[in-house]
Structure 1
Amino acid sequence: MELDGKVAIVTGGGGGIGAALAQALVDRDVRVVITDVVADGLDRVEAALGEEGSGAVATIVGDAASPDHIDRSIALAESRFGPVDLYFANAGISGAPGLAATDDEWSQVIDVNLMGHICAARRLVPEWVQRGGGYFVSTASAAGLLTQLGSATYSVTKHAAVGFAEWLNVTYGDRGVRASCLCPMGVDTKLLRPDDTPIDDEALLMQRAVETAGRVLTPAEVAGVVMDAIDDERFLILPHPEVLEMYRHKGADYDRWLKGMRRYQQSLIS
């Protein structure tokens, strides 16, 4: 897709990958609405981008999983810039570790990591089909192709996000709607390295697993890979190319891969 002059919405844009995506889009002359549940992060990002004098950024505070917030974000984009061409379903949370997670904790992670994507697509894709074009970018994770040690809620919902993005691509790809799925490993964000939350054993396992699996990238590096993938309209966006080889090994011999993952997990907690 040619990005110049397009209109985009980026969720979870108050920091990390979302803020880097917003910066990369503005650099490509895209007009961007940035949303986040935390106002402080949005204020910092808006101030940083506003210093460039483009006037191409608007922000709105709210929950990316809320249909009402999605509607308000789209309305803001349309009133300020015009019809939405791209939607980056980037907001995400790690959630609780495993079988001890409560129903409420599961619901929260499912809402943010999956239902936010579904609600946004439900709202935008029919319009894109009528217009003959649009682009949906889901931020999932390498955990959605492999798994995530230390967090069942994260692993399960990221698998689901990959599956939904695949379905969008297959179902609407011949009707002008593009869908891509971002699946990085370690990225230097607060999701990986929180600075205000005590790290329990499961969270520490999750962090160690990600940090030792490959190089931890900067959000700007990831955003650059995303822009290249959009240029090529490529579905699977892998800032860590080695994930593809891991995925191939998994598919080639699932039981051997599972045994290897158990050994890897044991090495991290020994």
Structure 2
Amino acid sequence: MDISDKSIVITGGASGIGAALARQAAKAGAKVCIADLNLEAGKQLADEIGGIAVACDVTKEEQIIAAIEAAEAAHGPVDVFVSNAGLGRGDPSHAASAPDADWMLNWNVHVMAHVWAARALLPAMIARGSGYFVNIASAAGLLNQIGDAAYSATKHAAVSFAESLLISHGEEGIGVSVVCPQYVATPLLGLGDGDAQGNLLSADDVARSVWQGVTDGTFVIMPHPDVAKYNALRGADPSRWIKGMQMLRAKAMSEHGGISVSEFYKLL
């Protein structure tokens, strides 16, 4: 899909990957609605790029619907919906140690927010024979995030839901891309673009990969080339893959004295 002149909604669009996506989409001529918990930051970015901003808590279906309605009032029918909002809490101790509230928060942000957006938009998109969903998942949705079982499980579910969307509605003119980056220098890791180096990509790097993938109609977008290699290894020999991940976990425990997701990228 050519995103020029398209109406685009980006959740979590006020910072990190979302902000980079918004800036690049606006530069390409798209009409952007930034939907974010941080309305002040969203408005600042919207003023910068000539878009609009709305407050949006993606754990509430009615707020996703309200964001869509605001975008349509300003820019016309939504052509592209980017489900970008995300979080990571980590396991307090063992893999099942996170409280139910954390599991449900991960589920609502990483899965149900995608479902609610599709539920609101699909009927009209199908009727006009066009529309696009960009669901930001993670390499953890293909592989695993050591030290955060809730994150990994829900990102796997996000990949699966994106696949269901494309299988069911691809022949009706609906495009779907699921984005599976590895580590990115964003506020989620306490980092910024200036920290990007080597396999640690910047938010701009990821955004460029995303919009190129949307232009090409790529289903699984992997901004980090190594992810495709790891995914192939995992599929070819699951037992060997698990052993390698166990060794990586042991390395993290040895070098950092525990599992810190914000430090884990340094081991790769």
**TM-score computed with the length of structure 1 as normaliser:** 0.88
Alignment pair present for 1:216 and 2:200: yes
Alignment pair present for 1:93 and 2:87: yes
Q: 5 Å matches for 1:13-52? A: 13-49=13-49
AA aligned to 2:211 is M
Which segments of structure 1 move beyond 4 Å, counting only runs of 4 or more? none
**Contact between 1:96 and 1:106, CA under 8 Å: does it hold in 2?**
no
What are the superposed Cα offsets for residues 203-255 of structure 1, whole Å, 9 maximum, x if unpaired?
xxxxxxxx99x611110111011111011011011110110010000000000
Distance between the aligned counterparts of 2:190 and 2:232, measured in 1?
A: 28
**TM-score computed with the length of structure 2 as normaliser:** 0.89
Q: How far did 1:194 drift?
A: 6.8
Task: Please name the residue that 2:239 is paired with.
Answer: 255
SS at structure 2 position matched to 1:34: strand
What are the superposed Cα offsets for residues 145-174 of structure 1, whole Å, 9 maximum, x if unpaired?
000011011101100000000111111111
Q: Give the one of 134, 153, 157 matched to 1:156.
A: 153
Distance change in 2, residues 1:194/1:154 (3 Å): farther
Task: Please name the residue that 1:198 is paired with.
Answer: none
Distance between the aligned counterparts of 2:29 and 2:218, measured in 1?
A: 21
Alignment pair present for 1:121 and 2:118: yes
What are the superposed Cα offsets for residues 119-163 of structure 1, whole Å, 9 maximum, x if unpaired?
101111121110100000000000000000110111011000000
How many residues of Structure 1 are paired with residues of Structure 2 in the alignment?
Answer: 248
SS at structure 2 position matched to 1:147: coil
Distance between the aligned counterparts of 2:35 and 2:170, measured in 1?
A: 26
Distance between the aligned counterparts of 1:105 and 1:185, measured in 2?
A: 22
AA aligned to 1:74 is I
SS at structure 2 position matched to 1:84: coil
Q: Give the one of 136, 139, 143 matched to 1:139.
A: 136
Task: Please name the residue that 1:265 is paired with.
Answer: 249
**Contact between 2:84 and 2:135, CA under 8 Å: does it hold in 1?**
yes
Task: Please name the residue that 2:258 is paired with.
Answer: none
**Contact between 2:106 and 2:154, CA under 8 Å: does it hold in 1?**
yes
Distance between the aligned counterparts of 1:75 and 1:241, measured in 2?
A: 37
**Contact between 1:14 and 1:45, CA under 8 Å: does it hold in 2?**
yes
- Percentage of matched positions with identical amino acids: 39
SS at structure 1 position matched to 2:132: strand
Q: How far did 1:44 drift?
A: 3.2
Distance between the aligned counterparts of 1:42 and 1:5, measured in 2?
A: 20
